[in-house]
């Protein structure tokens, strides 16, 4: 059955709005060409829209315009080059050009954690919206996509009112995104839902037209994309609530791993068993070194900070525990390393001087070169601080890791990192590590000791190859 339109009834109409530019379909601009903005710009050009990507970073824009994606994301390079060639996709560093070109402006800039606390830093949102607004000379819709504290959309409306002529009737809407690194193209072209926070039928109509390509693609593939049309606050909250839920799910299973460690249980079996209950589900229930990346850690902190400001801090107090469980998993790897290397913990931390440790993985998850708040890299740094000679290898994340932690020692291959190591720590579950042959690696290593920080190795196979194996929340394998 073909479902051409979203079945989720909208409380508002989808008026057939005419793009103010006069183009047949709304022209789209994406401001901020980081992970989010670049992926959206490229994918929406692929869906047939005329797209302009904007960034203040000239180097990034020059790269994109030359057909190079500035980060690692499967499938994106080909799409970028194809859409540049089609003429539908362009990049610029000029606000004036963006204002002149687009009908719908998506704000995709970063909202990092503030240097002075847990809240989100909205500087980039403020700069991009204000500069864009100043250049607008006809009606347009400004749509926030960045992850922000609830209340930001109302503030953006005030910024727009301050910087534009009211006669232009520039409007604001909010539409959070849910893309995951490593699956970004799929997540944008085939999202599992679209959420829009709008105040008027015109904004709703423009946003519908701006997403029609997504609905049309779904219809040709006999799929449905649920659409939730809501108010600003709910749209903003949906995003942080979703990330808070995912972080909680991961910390929940990691808390179970802690209990398994003292009770002699196996968290991988436990996770499988509870995951068969469809109310629980088995996804995001992988115990290990915990969550990292540019989103989950900062989002749960910013969410707590905002709830506190609003007087609902108590409601999110559990997120503090979620964060603590997550951090404790990193400490657990250090404990295991100390134990395996036969060292004593010591009041000022363990002394690992004279040991060599291979750290396999620097990215916060596989199929990404992103090392922001990466558990692997944080653990590597702690091991090095304890005196170990740490050798890091990652299939894609080396360049970013070198920038983030220049003092660590990097190797160009898994074999080079493992050669002569007294301990191997697998901290990001890249296929290259999961499929590595323990016999071959055993011949290279100085001693056969392995910490499986992601429970991604076949424990029995490694133990049979003579490795002393330690997982996260699982008993040691008996051979």
Helix (H, G, I), strand (E, B) or coil at 390: strand
Do 460 and 454 contact (CB within 8 A), yes or no? no
Task: Pick between residue 50 and residue 373 the one whose CB is nearest to ligand UGA.
Answer: 373
Taking CB under 6 A as the criterion, the residue among 5, 71, 155, 178 binding ligand UGA is 178
CA distance 83 to 189: 14
**Which one of 152, 251, 286, 367 is in contact with ligand UGA (CB under 6 A)?**
286
Contact pattern for ligand UGA over residues 354 through 373, marking x by CB under 6 A: ----------xx--------
Q: How many CB atoms lie within 10 A of CB 288?
A: 27
Write out the two tokens for 171.
């409007």
Binding part of the chain for ligand UGA, among 153-161, 285-293, 312-320, 434-442 by CB under 6 A, reads 285-293
**291 binding ligand UGA? (CB under 6 A):** yes
Cβ-based nearer residue to ligand UGA, 184 or 341: 184
Q: Which of 179, 210, 319, 371 binds ligand UGA (CB under 6 A)?
A: 179
- Of these, 53, 293, 361, 471, which contacts ligand UGA (CB under 6 A)? 293
Instruction: Tell me the closest approach of the beta carbon of residue 176 to ligand UGA, in angstroms.
Output: 8
CA–CA distance, 453 with 430 (Å, rounded to integer): 12
SS3 194: strand
In this chain, which of 73, 157, 171, 181 binds ligand UGA, going by CB under 6 A? 181
Cβ closest to ligand UGA, residue 206 vs residue 287: 287
Residues 434 and 249: their CA atoms lie apart, in Å, by 23
Residue 284 is a binding residue for ligand UGA (CB under 6 A)? yes
Q: Which stretch, 130-138, 192-200, 279-287, 331-339, contacts ligand UGA (CB under 6 A)?
A: 279-287
Q: In the bound complex, what is the minimum distance in angstroms from residue 350's beta carbon to ligand UGA?
A: 24
Bridge partners of residue 104, in order along the sequence? 28, 141
Q: Which of 20, 290, 361, 471 binds ligand UGA (CB under 6 A)?
A: 290
Place of tokens 């051409």: 4
Nearest CA to 243 among 277, 311, 191, 291?
291
CA gap 464, 394 in Å, rounded: 26
DSSP 120: B
Query: Of these residues, 43, 295, 425, 456, which one is catalytic?
Result: 295
Based on the number of CB atoms within 10 Å of its own CB, is 412 exposed (0-12), middle (13-18) or buried (19 or more)?
exposed
Site for ligand UGA in 396-455 (CB under 6 A): none
| Options 110, 292, 453, 471; binder of ligand UGA; rule CB under 6 A | 292
Binding mask 306-345 for ligand UGA (x = CB under 6 A): ----------------------------------------
Cα–Cα distance between 188 and 192 in angstroms, integer? 9
Nearer to ligand UGA, 149 or 205 (CB): 149
Determine contact, residues 460/293, Cβ cutoff 8 Å. no
DSSP state of 113: B
DSSP string, 415-436: HHHHTT-SEEEE-S--HHHHT-
Task: Give min distance, CB of 345 to ligand UGA, in A.
Answer: 25
Q: By CB under 6 A, is residue 147 in contact with ligand UGA?
A: yes
Strands, E assignment, 60-161: 89-92, 104-107, 141-144
What are the structure tokens assigned to 51, written together? 């797209």
Closer residue to ligand UGA in complex, CB, 14/430: 430
User: Which span (162-170, 172-180, 407-415, 418-426) binds ligand UGA, by CB under 6 A?
Assistant: 172-180
- Give catalytic status of residue 295 as yes or no: yes
- Rounded to an integer, what distance in angstroms lies between the CA atom of residue 72 and that of residue 84? 18
Q: Binders of ligand UGA: how many residues, by CB under 6 A?
A: 21
Q: How far is the CB of 54 from ligand UGA (least distance, A)?
A: 19
Q: Which residues contact 280 (CB under 8 A, 6 or more apart)?
A: 274
- Positions marked active-site: 295
Interface ranges with ligand UGA (CB under 6 A): 147, 177-181, 243, 246, 250, 284-286, 288, 290-293, 295-296, 364-365
């Amino acid at each position: 059955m073909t479902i051409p339109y979203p079945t989720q009834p909208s409380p508002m109409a989808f008026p057939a709005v005419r793009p103010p530019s006069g183009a047949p379909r709304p022209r789209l601009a994406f401001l901020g060409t980081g992970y989010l903005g670049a992926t959206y710009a490229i994918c929406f050009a692929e869906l047939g829209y005329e797209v302009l990507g904007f960034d203040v970073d000239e180097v990034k824009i020059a790269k994109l315009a030359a057909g190079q994606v500035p980060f690692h994301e499967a499938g994106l390079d080909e799409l970028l080059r194809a859409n540049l060639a089609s003429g539908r996709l362009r990049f610029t560093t000029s606000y004036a050009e963006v204002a002149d070109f687009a009908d719908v402006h998506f704000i995709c800039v970063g909202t990092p954690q503030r240097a002075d606390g847990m809240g989100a830093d909205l500087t980039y949102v403020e700069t991009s919206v204000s500069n864009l607004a100043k250049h607008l000379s006809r009606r347009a819709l400004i749509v926030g996509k960045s992850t922000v504290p609830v209340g930001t959309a109302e503030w953006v409306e005030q910024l727009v009112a301050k910087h534009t002529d009211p006669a232009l009737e520039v409007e604001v809407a909010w539409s959070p995104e849910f893309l995951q690194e490593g699956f970004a193209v799929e997540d944008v072209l085939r999202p599992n839902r679209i959420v829009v926070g709008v105040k008027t039928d015109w904004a709703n109509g423009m946003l519908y037209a701006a997403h029609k390509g997504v609905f049309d693609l779904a219809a040709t593939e006999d799929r449905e994309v649920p659409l939730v049309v809501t108010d600003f606050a709910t749209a903003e909250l949906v995003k942080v609530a979703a990330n808070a839920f995912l972080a909680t799910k991961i910390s929940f299973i990691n808390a179970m791993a802690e209990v398994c460690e003292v009770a002699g249980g196996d968290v991988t079996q436990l996770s499988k068993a509870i995951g068969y209950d469809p109310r629980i589900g088995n996804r995001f229930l992988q115990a290990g070194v915990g969550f990292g990346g540019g989103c989950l850690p900062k989002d749960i902190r910013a969410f707590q900070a905002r709830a506190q400001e609003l007087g609902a801090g108590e409601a999110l107090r559990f997120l503090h525990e979620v964060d603590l469980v997550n951090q404790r998993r990193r400490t657990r790897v250090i404990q295991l390393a100390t134990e395996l290397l036969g060292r004593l913990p010591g009041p000022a931390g363990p002394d690992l001087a004279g040991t060599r440790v291979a750290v396999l993985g620097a990215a916060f998850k596989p199929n990404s070169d992103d090392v922001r708040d990466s558990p692997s890299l944080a653990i590597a740094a702690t091991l090095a601080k304890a005196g170990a000679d740490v050798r890091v290898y990652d299939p894609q994340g080396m360049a970013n890791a070198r920038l983030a932690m220049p003092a660590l020692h990097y190797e160009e291959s898994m074999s080079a990192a493992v050669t002569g190591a007294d301990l191997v720590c697998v901290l990001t579950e890249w296929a290259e590590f999961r499929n590595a042959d323990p016999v071959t690696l055993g011949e290279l290593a100085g001693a056969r000791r392995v910490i499986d920080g992601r429970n991604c190795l076949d424990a029995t196979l490694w133990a049979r190859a003579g490795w002393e194996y330690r997982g996260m929340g699982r008993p040691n394998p008996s051979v």
